[in-house]
Amino acid sequence: MVVLMLAALAAGAADAAMPPALRQAAQRAGLTESMIGIWISPAGVDRPALAVNSSRSFTPASTAKVVTTMAGLDLLTPAFRWKTLVRADAAPDEHGRITSVSITGDGDPHRVSESLWLMAERLRGLGVREIVGDITLDRSAFAVEVIDQGAFDGEANESYNVGADALLTNMKSLSLTFHPDSMAGIARITSFPGLMGIQVQRTVPLDRSARCDGDEWQRRLHGDFSGPKVSFKGAYPLSCGTKSWHYAGYSADEFFTRSLGYVLAQTGIVWKGRGIEGKADQDAFLLLTEDSKPLVTIVGLINKYSNNPMARQLYLTLSFMDEYGWAQPASIERSRKVLDRWLQECSVPVAEVNLENGSGLSRKAWISPRAMGKVLNYAYKSPYAAEFISSLPIAGLDGTMRKRGVSSGSAHMKTGYINNVWAEAGYLTDVAGRRWSVAVTVNYSGSGRKPHGKAFIDAVNRWVASGALR
């Protein structure tokens, strides 16, 4: 076991060579020291016990969400809620009809189909029986362009690539779950949410010999989402067990229209129009206001499951914490300035942080291990430390750390991965009960055999958990 001397702790921010145990772990993983950034300090203390390349910029992948979510908790408070407003020209008439309806969102990251059901039920409770004409969908709270969802990795229809939208609903995704029935030789398909005018093929044949490799099973199915019936021409590998496919290829207006149309029909409200993006009349009659879940819940969903669209929504919401508030649309530039000011107030080196969109799904984002470590230490002493720490995945138990336990001690750790980038940031408690702030990043840019970045990070966790640091 390697023991770092107290003198190393007293030396403060000076970087050091990796200890022999970690150097050996790096060699086994096919890594050189130049690919690795490490900051480990006693939790809440900005003096590292181990720092390797700690001031260098590294691509953080989803550990960027640590910064986004802590800034959100600090600036917005854990009790913050987003609001969705439904307006019309007047209250329902004697026939239950309303006209000139608009729905305005301000960025709720967790507006899901259940939210639309509640909205529809409340409208019915207010006496609404028919919505006449089109519905104006007001997304103007966010000044963002529709992104090319395939720009990052070519996977344009994947939920994790969905961009920010002030009226984002259900991640703009149709979720299909495949349930294999070996006896019948088929996989049954369930779908959610219901979409007006869209039917889904209910069974596909099973392939008993195919392996379940990554997302290859989706390509084997040859799904066609282009028409009113979602269909498949391939077979589903029995070896995959139960799996879900989240398709995000619909436009924002189409998905919202079909989602809302379905729930309105189910609740007995007639609507024959469509949703059209536009600006709501702020002076129109306010029918109802729907509140989102509190931010503390949203932060848990973002960090536990590394939800990119939700992180983007939260990052843009930071815009409203500047001097203009809600009077101007949120933008990446406004949020960056708010975040920079917050980082400065937290004594985090601003020049060492660039989150781009706040989610980590970016090759343009960067952060140094030192800056990440300082954010972790600030969070540890924050009034909202309990809320933040509980939002992080627990090693060996839940979220993205469910299958990555530590052999001793315990950890609350945000993970990150994009191609050739592996990272973690969080807190680890060693066998002696000491808690450490840990930030580790591996960036690889070579063309040879890909190293085992995840294995190295797991080795760091085991090393710290064993009590190697003093």
- Shared domain for 388 and 400, answered yes or no, is yes
Sign of CA dihedral 305, 425, 451, 363: positive
Does 146 or 72 have the greater pLDDT score?
A: 72
Which whole number is the average pLDDT over 216-233?
A: 96
Confidence grade of residue 406 (pLDDT, cut at 50, 70, 90): confident
Q: Are residues 62 and 98 in the same domain?
A: no
pLDDT at 14: 64
Query: pLDDT-based confidence at 448, cuts 50/70/90?
Result: confident
Asked if the model's pLDDT at residue 407 lies above 50, the reply is: yes
CATH assignment at residue 125: 3.50.80.20
Q: Does residue 156 lie in a domain region?
A: no
Same domain, 317 and 439: yes
Q: What percent of the chain has pLDDT over 70?
A: 97
Q: Please state the rounded mean pLDDT for residues 69-81.
A: 99
Give the 3-state DSSP-derived string for the chain, with helices as H, strands as E and coil as C.
Answer: CCCCCHHHHHCCCCCCCCCHHHHHHHHHCCCCHHHEEEEEEECCCCCCCEEECCCCCECCHHHHHHHHHHHHHHHHCCCCCCEEEEEECCCCCCCCEEECCEEEECCCCCCCHHHHHHHHHHHHHCCCCEEECCEEEECCCECCCCCCCCCCCCCCCEHHHCCCCCCCCHHHCEEEEEEEECCCCEEEEEEECCCCCCEECCEEEEECCCCCCCCHHHHHHCEECCCCEEEECCCEEHHHCCEEEEECCCCHHHHHHHHHHHHHHHCCCEECCCEEECCCCCCCEEEEEEECCCHHHHHHHHHHHCCHHHHHHHHHHHHHHCCCHHHCCECHHHHHHHHHHHHHHCCCCHHHEECCCCCCCCCCCEECHHHHHHHHHHHHHCCCHHHHHHHCCECCCCHHHCCCCCCCCEEEEEEEEECCEEEEEEEEECCCCCEEEEEEEEECCCCCCCCCHHHHHHHHHHHHHCCCCC
Q: In which domain, by residue range, is 50 found?
A: 6-79+296-465
417 & 310 share domain? yes
The partner residues of 135 in beta bridges, in order of sequence, read: 275
Same domain, 36 and 89: no
Residue 446, judged by CB atoms within 10 A of its CB (0-12, 13-18, 19+), counts as: exposed
Given the structure tokens 């680890």, which residue do they identify? 428
Please report where in the chains the tokens 């596909």 appear, as a residue: 204
Residues 94 and 201 in one domain: no
With 0-12 / 13-18 / 19 or more C-beta atoms within 10 angstroms meaning exposed / middle / buried, residue 281 is: middle
Q: Is 159 contained in some domain?
A: no
Residues 240 and 255 in one domain: no
pLDDT (mean) for 372-388: 99
Q: Does 157 map to a domain?
A: no
Say how far apart CA 158 and CA 256 lie, in whole Å: 17
Tell the residue number behind the tokens 């009349």, with chain if given: 281
Q: Are residues 332 and 411 in the same domain?
A: yes
Q: Which of 222, 247, 272 represents a domain boundary (last residue)? A: 247
- Residue 405: its pLDDT value, please? 87
pLDDT tens sequence across 54-72: 999 999 999 999 999 999 9
CATH number of 309's domain: 3.40.710.10
Say whether both 386 and 456 belong to one domain: yes
Domain count, the chain: 3
Let me know if residue 164 belongs to a domain. Answer: no
User: Could you tell me if 351 and 432 lie in one domain?
Assistant: yes
165 part of a folded domain: no
Of the candidates 326, 266, 283, 264, the residue with the CA atom closest to the CA atom of residue 130: 264
Are 87 and 74 contained in the same domain?
no
Find where tokens 């085991």 sit: 462
Which residues, 6+ apart, have CB-to-CB distance to 96 below 8 Å? 127, 128, 129, 130
Q: Is the pLDDT of residue 288 over 80?
A: yes
Residues 284 and 304 in one domain: no
Q: Euclidean distance between the first and final Cα of the chain, in Å?
A: 11
Structural domain includes residue 114:
yes
Query: Is 40 among the domain residues?
Result: yes
CA distance 48 to 34: 19
Q: Are strands 102-105 and 135-138 parallel, antiparallel or unpaired?
A: parallel
Report yes or no on 188 lying in a domain.
yes
pLDDT at 5: 35
CA pair distance 342, 76, nearest whole angstrom: 12
Q: Residue 446's pLDDT band (boundaries 50, 70, 90)?
A: confident
| Angle of CA points 23, 28, 30, to nearest 5° | 95
- Whether residue 373 is predicted with pLDDT greater than 80 in this model: the reply is yes
